[in-house]
């Protein structure tokens, strides 16, 4: 395993900056957990994606708090937030914006759509048509919107938090591969522990905790933390290990579609954020290995043979990653 011995000499980030990042991330975590109880791992994954400048896909059955998680993060940060309710009749222009003719000035003027915010909550994204879903492709990848041959830049930080129901649910459309690949990670909230659910009944029945949630950070602070994450040291052996993991998914016979080069980039960026949140100035192979599930699983497609034999993507990914040698110090 890679040890701190590989880190000296990088000089990229100072211990005080890491301490600030850990402290601010802790404040945001505590704020979210006032609404989402008993799901520390899910909250940490959400913060990891935020600090890695990625986008998050939350997939689960109705009623487990997907939208509450997204809104709790949005309210914990003092920045612009918009929610888009994805429905079958939603149009691409509702997402990106549209040019409207102004009768007074006799010119067309641009009216921004719901995507123009620091944090965009896309509720039940797979209830909209693939045509509308594709309106997010340029926004998520390039942080810009092009309407009528004019390009508009999106503010930083920019994060899409989309919720979706499992594709077996009635009235849903499967996300296209290109759309799924733009989400850095996918998490599942799951049912809460019994104790947390009982506490939820006591705290949520009289009032919604979201109403009392106050911002504990702002957009400028998040931009600084993102800059700290970008400077986290990564050894060459860890980069090779990251590529070895994604390349192994492409060579596996049980997978019809493996991880893309974008997945390799997302995996390493998420590992840097995970390392920083744990108070380290360098990435360990364990950081990369721990994030393979959330970052890679939603991008993979099982082969017909694997599906017939009941092999899930999670099982295949676990077998693939376990076979890749971990670099030693």
- Enter the pTM of the model: 0.89
For residue 329, the model assigns a pLDDT of 59
Locate the DSSP E strands across 2-75. 56-59
User: Which stretches of the chain score pLDDT less than 70?
Assistant: 1-12, 167-171, 329
- Tokens for 76, please give them: 């914990």
Contact predicate 123/83, CB 8 Å:
yes
pLDDT score of 3: 40
Give me the pLDDT at residue 194, please.
86
Contacts by residues 306-313 (CB-CB < 8 Å, ≥ 24 positions apart) = 306/254, 306/255, 311/254, 313/255
For residue 213, give the nearest of 72, 2, 28 by alpha carbon: 72
Confidence (pLDDT) at 85 = 92
Task: Look at residue 51 in the predicted model and tell me its pLDDT.
Answer: 96
Supply the Cα-derived Rg of the chain in whole angstroms: 21
Residue 6 has a pLDDT of 40
**Pairing mode, if any, of strands 107-112 and 97-102?**
antiparallel
Q: Report the pLDDT value the prediction gives residue 250, as an integer from 0 to 100.
A: 95
194 Cβ contact list (under 8 Å, min separation 6): none
pLDDT of residue 187: 92
Cis peptide before 269 (omega within 30 of 0): no
Ordered structural domains, the chain, with CATH: 13-89+117-231 (3.40.50.300), 232-328 (1.10.8.80)
């Amino acid at each position: 395993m890679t040890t701190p011995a590989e880190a000296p000499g990088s000089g990229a980030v100072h211990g005080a900056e890491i301490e600030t990042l850990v402290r601010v991330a802790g404040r945001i975590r505590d704020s979210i957990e006032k609404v989402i109880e008993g799901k520390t791992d899910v909250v940490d994954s959400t913060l990891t994606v935020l600090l890695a400048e990625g986008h998050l896909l939350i997939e689960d059955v109705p009623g487990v708090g997907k939208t509450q998680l997204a809104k709790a993060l949005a309210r914990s940060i003092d920045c612009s937030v918009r929610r888009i309710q994805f429905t079958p009749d939603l149009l691409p222009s509702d997402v990106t914006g549209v040019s409207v003719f102004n009768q007074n000035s006799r010119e067309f003027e641009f009216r921004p759509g719901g995507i123009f915010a620091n944090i965009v909550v896309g509720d039940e994204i797979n209830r909209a048509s693939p045509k509308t879903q594709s309106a997010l492709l340029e926004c998520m990848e390039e942080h810009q919107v092009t309407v009528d041959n004019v390009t508009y830049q999106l503010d930083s930080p920019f994060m899409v938090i989309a919720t979706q129901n499992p594709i077996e649910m009635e009235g849903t459309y499967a996300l296209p591969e290109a759309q799924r690949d733009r989400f850095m990670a996918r998490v599942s909230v799951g049912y809460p522990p019994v104790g947390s659910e009982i506490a939820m009944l006591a705290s949520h029945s009289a009032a919604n905790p979201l109403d009392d949630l106050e911002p504990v950070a702002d957009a400028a602070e998040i931009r600084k933390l993102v800059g700290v994450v970008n400077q986290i040291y990564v050894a060459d052996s860890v980069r090779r290990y990251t590529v070895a993991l994604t390349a192994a998914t492409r060579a596996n016979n049980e997978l019809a579609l493996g991880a893309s080069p974008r997945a390799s980039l997302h995996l390493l960026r998420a590992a840097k954020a995970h390392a920083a949140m744990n108070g380290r100035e360098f990435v360990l192979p364990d950081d990369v290995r721990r994030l393979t599930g959330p970052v890679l699983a939603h991008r993979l497609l099982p082969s017909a043979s694997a599906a017939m034999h009941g092999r899930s993507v999670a099982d295949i990914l676990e077998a693939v990653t376990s076979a890749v040698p971990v670099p030693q110090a």
